[in-house]
Structure 1
């Protein structure tokens, strides 16, 4: 027997919606615009949403995950499992579904946005709407692609997005374009970072940064570390790691010719939290007394610089 659900008193309707899981609420939202608006009566929770290109959207709260995946057959629409994590097929296009869920549940924070740029238009649509809504994006990941045709248009959008915690960039962008990262979340990882120049390094505000396949030279790194020694610069920096073929033994970094490390006993090991990041590093001090540990190794395919800034609260220094 059909039930005139929307004729229920508001308080009763709110209680009914509170006991529904997101899949049930999503199904109801597809009935009508009025039903979709009514679902917000269930109250605003601290929902987060994740988008994985090309076909998965996840919303989560209180350690529960609800996975929406593209259905290959119409008979699979709205089929879901009650396992954790949960999953449900959906008929919408991915971008439409993403914004449908934002609006239906009143989600105001994106936990992760992962794009592989097979369809730059889709990413552009998502990015522009998130920018218009000024929505926080905790983590943004650009997946690896052998040919990123629209690479020249990527960074201007990234710089306008409100990415707060983590930015990861895996693809090898075309060399003929200029790329500039102007805004920095807490953590940055760039795989093919040849385009990340000294100007960007000097302007970063990261806590942790890792640059692979870098073109930064000894001279660049010397400039950066000398600026770091100023008490007012890079107050957030805790960890810097750079792999680059231009790191060599031809010129000094802080008046030291690489390789840079302490040789002999006792051997110093600097532990950052649960990670053992640097062994035999050389202590470097800011003018205000803050200590960083520097190690530069030239062996292997990619010479490597590691720089760890000591935080007395979570760093342990031992001798080996």
Structure 2
């Protein structure tokens, strides 16, 4: 049987053939010439999600999806994995394999420079398909390899954003953590930081220079590593930073709030939560901010679904936007529920401490709409093992 002259076929039959190929076959076809690359791109028009790892080899996980379609957790799409290995492993690995348990096809490619092949394969995927990087797991990368991948991401214009980056903090990963924060320049939706459960928890100060070029929508720090200082906080451009344990003093919090009030830092902030090493000293934190302490019976506001805040300390930004420091951390579940009596007592105690002081802080009078119950509930949150206290700041739209 003679070979089929693909490039002599009309476009529609050729498109039908290409659309029945797997992702590896499409990439091999695209590498033949500029013409085949353009044909593959026009013929497929597929959206590809990408996840990046590095273990004993470089790994690119891909699966086809549809724009705007969320894949249900219980519907695992068929995945296509590229493993890029050193040429010395060529004889020990099958070039193609299929895992029925997770429905993953694995294609193993070898090179005397597997990192270069990794970047070339990644770039080809972006040039042929409508790609997005969904996740990057930096845990096991070598430092220099990580630098080169970040340099590629920063310089390659088709990488506009990454959905999620995850890193596990231990003594071996500290330099990688710093490198990422100091050098990555693209938009990031979510940055997740974990402690190493198998190793030693980092509780000492970590010197990190946060890049003010990095825009992150959400940070979830589940470690106890103390990397957030005033300089890093002022440099952040993050919507919802949940920053874990920090090095921030009461004076640092005041400087940050002043900067936010004057419109000089984090204009996209929606909610900040961070643990500080000492209880809030309100005279220091609110100094010079022209704050209004809202009475808990006077106002209730909802930040996220089914979570209500009562009272709070309002600060007005130069553009009129209101941000609220939560002077207690009681969260309600209903707009009209009765608030616990110790919430009211905490307000009155704080108010008495300000009597006779030279301050621009204004305390509201008691209201009638929100009733007070006879019960008491926990209104402060902290980490007992480290004597840290929760500082929360919410910006209202």
TM over 0.5: yes
2:171 counterpart SS class: coil
Say what the alpha-carbon RMSD is for the aligned residues: 4.0
Summarize deviations over 1:79-113 as a string: whole Å, max 9, x none.
266x9x85212213685457425404345532322
The 3-state SS of whatever aligns with 2:284 is coil
Whether contact under 8 Å (2:138, 2:165) holds in the other structure is: yes
Per the normalisation by structure 1, the TM-score is 0.74
Count matched residues.
Answer: 303
The answer as to 2:270 corresponding to 1:238 is yes
Aligned to 1:133: 156
Report the equivalent of 2:20.
20
* Structure-2 change in CA distance of 1:188 and 1:230 (3 Å): same
Mapped partners of 1:19, 1:116: distance in 2: 35
Counterpart position of 2:51: 50
Q: 1:234 to 1:76 in 2, by over 3 A?
A: closer
Q: 1:125 deviation in Å?
A: 3.0
Q: Which has the larger radius of gyration?
A: 2
Whether 2:186 is the aligned partner of 1:179: answer no
2:382 is the alignment partner of 1:305: no
Q: 2: CA distance between counterparts of 1:185 and 1:77?
A: 37
Under a length normalisation based on structure 2, what TM-score does the superposition of the two structures give?
A: 0.62
- Which one of 87, 91, 95 corresponds to residue 108 of structure 2? 91
Counterpart mapping for 1:12-161 below 5 A: 12=12, 14-17=14-17, 19-20=19-20, 24-27=22-25, 29-30=27-28, 33-34=31-32, 37=37, 39-54=40-55, 55=59, 57-62=61-66, 63=69, 65-69=77-81, 74=93, 77-79=96-98, 86-92=103-109, 96=117, 99-104=120-125, 105-107=128-130, 109-134=132-157, 135-148=159-172, 151=175, 154-155=178-179, 158-161=182-185
1:229 corresponds to 2:229 = no
The answer on 1:292 being equivalent to 2:331 is no
- CA shift in 2, pair 1:59/1:136, >3 Å: farther
Relative to 1, partners in 2 of residues 1:166 and 1:14: Cα closer, same or farther, differing over 3 Å? farther
Q: Higher mean Cα deviation, 193-202 or 36-45?
A: 36-45
What is the CA–CA distance in structure 1 between the aligned matches of 2:308 and 2:297, rounded to whole Å? 17
In 2, Cα distance between the equivalents of 1:8 and 1:197? Answer: 64
Report what 2:228 is aligned to.
196
1:253-302 per-residue CA deviation (whole Å, 9 max, x = no partner) reads 1149xxx9877x63854322425264443333334432222114555323
What is the alpha-carbon distance in structure 2 between the residues aligned to residue 146 and residue 296 of structure 1? 33
Q: What CA distance in whole angstroms lies between the structure 1 residues aligned with 2:184 and 2:141?
A: 21
Partners of 2:243 and 2:191 lie apart in 1 by 12
Matched residue, 2:243:
211
Does the aligned pair in 1 maintain the 2:204–2:226 contact within 8 Å?
no
Contact 1:102–1:108 (CA under 8 A) maintained in structure 2: no
**Structure 1 unaligned blocks of 5 or more:** 312-320
- Structure 1 Cα separation of the partners of residues 18 and 267 of structure 2: 44
**Bigger shift: 241-250 or 194-203?**
241-250
Decide which of 173, 191, 212 is 1:167's aligned counterpart.
191
Q: State the distance in 1 between where 2:262 and 2:181 align.
A: 32
Where does structure 2 lack aligned partners over 5 or more consecutive residues?
72-76, 84-88, 196-201, 329-379
